[in-house]
Amino acid sequence: MRAPSEPRISEDLACVGCGHNLRGLPASSPCPECGRPIRDTLEGQAVEASNREHAADAIRSYGKSFLYGAPFGLFKVGCLGPLVSLVALFGSVQRMIAANQALALLPEQAGSATVELRRARTLAFAELATGVPALLLLSFSTAWLIGDTADAFLRMLATSAWFGTMALGLVTGWMFVDSTVVRLALSDCERRTLPAYLALGAVPCTLVAEVLLSASLLEPLAIAMRVAAALLWAGASAMLAYQGSAAGDEVAGGPRRRKLKTPEDAEDAGPSPDARAGAQAGRSMTVRRPPPPPPPQDDDPIPLD
C-alpha cells in the first residue's frame, strides 16, 4: 500500500516573510529563502475575533482619510489654498487617530504591517507639524513684517516642506495598506502599486511648476504641470482610499484558509474540468466518414457475353 503524500502548495503563494513563491513545497516545511514556517503564510496573522471588526473599521477609516487630501494638489491656487489646506489637515488628524486605534488592535506578529503603520502615524504627526505653519502663511501675509522677498521665500519653504511630508505620508500609507493585505488578509484582494507611483509623479510636476512660476518662465507650461500634479495627487488619494477600505473588509472576514492538494487528490479527482472540456471539444470536432466499400469477392460468377 502506498503511503499518502504530504500536502503541498498547489498555487502561487508568496511567503509572508520574504515574498518567495512557495508553490510546490510541502506545507510543513520552512521557506527556503527566509526559513519562516510555511504554516504562517497559510494561516495568516489573524486578528483576534473580538477585535477583528474594530481593527477593520480603523483600517477603513485610515484609508478613507486620504480622500480629504485629494484636492491637496490645489493648495497653491489663490483663494483655494487655505480651504484645501484646512481639509487636508483634517485628513491628517483622522489618519493619526485611526493609526493609533489600529496599532492597539493588530497583532504584534503582523510584521511589516505594524512597522509601516508606526511610520505612517509618525508622518501623520509630521504633516500636522508642517501643515499648520504653512496654513497660517497661506492665510496671512508677513510681508509687512519681513518684506515681500522674505515672505515669498518663507511661504515657498513652508509649503514645500508640507507637500514633501504629505507625499511621504501617502507612499507610507500605501505600504501599510499593501502589507496589511499580505500579512493579515492573505486573500484575493488586489494589490495596487499605482497610488505610490502617482504620488511620486506629482512631486516633480509640482516642483518644476513652482520653479517656472517663480522665474516667470513658460507660464502656460507651468500651469499645465500644476494641473497635472493636482490630477495625479487626486488619483493617488482616491485609489489609496479604495484600497484601504478593501483591506479593512478583508481583515474583517479573517484570513483565507488555503486548501492543499496531494498527488493522490489529483488522481482520485480524475481529469480536471479543463481537460474534460478539451476532450469534449476534440470529440465534437471529429469528422465522421462513411465506411469504405467491401472488396469484391473472388468466387463471384464471371458474366459471360
Q: Is residue 203 part of a domain?
A: yes
Q: Is residue 235 part of a domain?
A: yes
pLDDT at 183: 67
Number of folded domains in the chain? 2
Contact 96, 124 (CB under 8 A): yes
Q: Is residue 304 part of a domain?
A: no
Which residue has cell 493636482? 230
71 and 104 assigned to the same domain: yes
135 and 184 assigned to the same domain: yes
C-alpha to C-alpha distance for 102 and 46, rounded to whole angstroms: 14
Within a 13 Å sphere around the CA of 65, how many CA atoms are in the beta-carbon half?
27
Q: Is residue 132 part of a domain?
A: yes
17 and 39 assigned to the same domain: yes
Domain region containing 147? 49-253
Q: What are the beta bridge partners of residue 8? A: 26, 261
What's the chain look like in SS3? CCCCCCCECCCCCECCCCCCECCCCECCCECCCCCCEHHHHHHCCCCCHHHHHHHHHHHHHHHHHHHHHHHHHHCCCCCHHHHHHHHHHHHHHHHHHHHHHHHHHCCHHHCHHHHHHHHHHHHHHHHHHHHHHHHHHHHCCCHHHHCHHHHHHHHHHHHHHHHHHHHHHHHHHHHHHHHHHHHHHCCCCCCCCHHHHHHHHHHHHHHHHHHHHHCCCCHHHHHHHHHHHHHHHHHHHHHHHHHHHHHHHHHHHCCCCCCCECHHHHHHHCCCHHHHHHHHHHHHCCCCCCCCCCCCCCCCCCCCC
Q: Which cell numbers hold the place of 242?
A: 479604495
CA distances from 57 to 106, 138, 144 (A): 12, 34, 48
22 and 117 assigned to the same domain: no
Q: Is residue 293 part of a domain?
A: no
Contact 183, 112 (CB under 8 A): yes
Which residue has cell 470536432? 285
Contact 256, 44 (CB under 8 A): yes
Q: Is residue 165 part of a domain?
A: yes
* 234, 253, 272 - which closes a domain: 253
Contact 82, 90 (CB under 8 A): no
36 and 56 assigned to the same domain: no
pLDDT at 82: 83
206 and 69 assigned to the same domain: yes
54 and 144 assigned to the same domain: yes
Q: Is residue 260 part of a domain?
A: no
* 213, 233, 253 - which closes a domain: 253
Q: Is residue 167 part of a domain?
A: yes
pLDDT at 255: 60
38 and 61 assigned to the same domain: no
Contact 197, 178 (CB under 8 A): no
82 and 29 assigned to the same domain: no
32 and 105 assigned to the same domain: no
154 and 17 assigned to the same domain: no
53 and 115 assigned to the same domain: yes
* 213, 236, 253 - which closes a domain: 253
pLDDT at 92: 92
**pLDDT values of the chain reduced to their tens digit, one per residue, 305 residues:** 444 566 777 777 767 666 677 788 887 888 888 887 777 676 655 567 777 888 889 989 999 999 998 888 787 777 777 888 889 999 999 999 999 998 888 776 566 677 888 888 999 999 999 988 888 887 887 777 777 778 778 888 888 888 888 888 888 888 888 777 666 665 555 666 777 778 777 777 877 777 777 777 787 887 888 888 888 888 888 888 888 888 888 778 766 555 555 544 444 444 444 444 444 444 433 334 455 666 555 555 555 54
